A = this chain, B = another copy of it.
Amino acid sequence: MRGEFKLDFERGARIGLDEALFCENKTVDQIAAIVEAVKAKTGRLLLTRLDPSKHEALLARHVSELEFDPLSRTAILGMPHAELRTPPVAIVMAGTSDLPAGREAARTFVFAGQAYREYTDVGVAGLWRLLERIDEIRSSPVVIVAAGMDAALVSVVGGLISGAVIALPTSVGYGVARGGETALRAALASCAPGITVVNIDNGYGAASAALRISRAIAASQNAPERIRATAKAGPN
């Protein structure tokens, strides 16, 4: 394994997001070697898509410092980052089956020091459950909406709040749900304007997108005097 990987330790400095270790296509040998390399450098790593069986195998070879969460299949090595001074992100989930994806986002926030709130079982088949909580959700400047099947929740939330909405389609469903493809396409075709979308089940990606926005908000708070730039306008 020596020399077969090269970590991007400068990513945090460059784009404000640490590189996370996506474990699905990697062998236990590769994961263990990378964890060792990180321990010798920054000592801090988020691991995603870590199957419980792989976690078992890591424990068996004495890679035991990982704080593991089986529902989201994530592990955290080392101490999370210091808390960011940004408002909490809302994570809205249509049903219980959407928890793994939503929780992956939550764990990314834990690692990054970002506050968040979770809202579960608010799918549109029972619209009132959502409407009861919409005012609280609306208070977050950034909202992640995790939903599978037809992802109708995305459009409903998008039509009710003015903050940034990041749709997180999940692979929940069967048949025409096609592993999240229908939820993904429905979110992209949403009738509510200004919805953005990430890959299916990509809780880490949704959280990373939220962190990019949170940082922009935080930077702006630190520099409220930032002068509005004059743009050379377009077509004329």
Q: A15-B161, A87-B228 are in contact. Are A186 and B151 (CB under 8 A)?
A: yes
Contact of A150 among B110, B181, B186 (CB under 8 A): B186
**Inter-subunit contact B228/A85 (CB<8 Å):** yes
Count of identical protomers in the assembly: 8
Q: What are the interface flags for A90-128 relative to B under an 8 Å C-beta threshold, 1 for contact and 0 otherwise?
A: 000011110100010011011000011110111111111
**Inter-subunit contact B191/A94 (CB<8 Å):** yes
**Inter-subunit contact B5/A193 (CB<8 Å):** no
Q: Tell me the bound Cα distance from A80 to B185 in angstroms.
A: 32
Q: Which residue of B lies closest to A196 (CB)?
A: B196
**Inter-subunit contact A4/B96 (CB<8 Å):** yes
A129 contacts partner chain B, Cβ-Cβ < 8 Å: yes
A146 contacts partner chain B, Cβ-Cβ < 8 Å: no
Q: Tell me the bound Cα distance from A185 to B162 in angstroms.
A: 27
A144 nearest CB across to chain B (Å): 11
Residues from chain B with a CB closer than 8 A to the CB of A226 are: 87, 221
**Inter-subunit contact B150/A189 (CB<8 Å):** yes
Residues from chain B with a CB closer than 8 A to the CB of A129 are: 6, 8
**Inter-subunit contact A149/B212 (CB<8 Å):** no
Q: A220-B220, A229-B88 are in contact. Are A175 and B159 (CB under 8 A)?
A: no
Q: What are the interface flags for A8-42 relative to B under an 8 Å C-beta threshold, 1 for contact and 0 otherwise?
A: 10110011110110101111001000100000000
Q: Tell me the bound Cα distance from A231 to B91 in angstroms.
A: 11
A45 contacts partner chain B, Cβ-Cβ < 8 Å: no
Interface residues of A in 121-171 (CB under 8 A from B): 121-129, 141-142, 148-152, 154-156, 158-166, 171
Residues from chain B with a CB closer than 8 A to the CB of A106 are: 233-235
Contact of A141 among B148, B149, B220 (CB under 8 A): B220
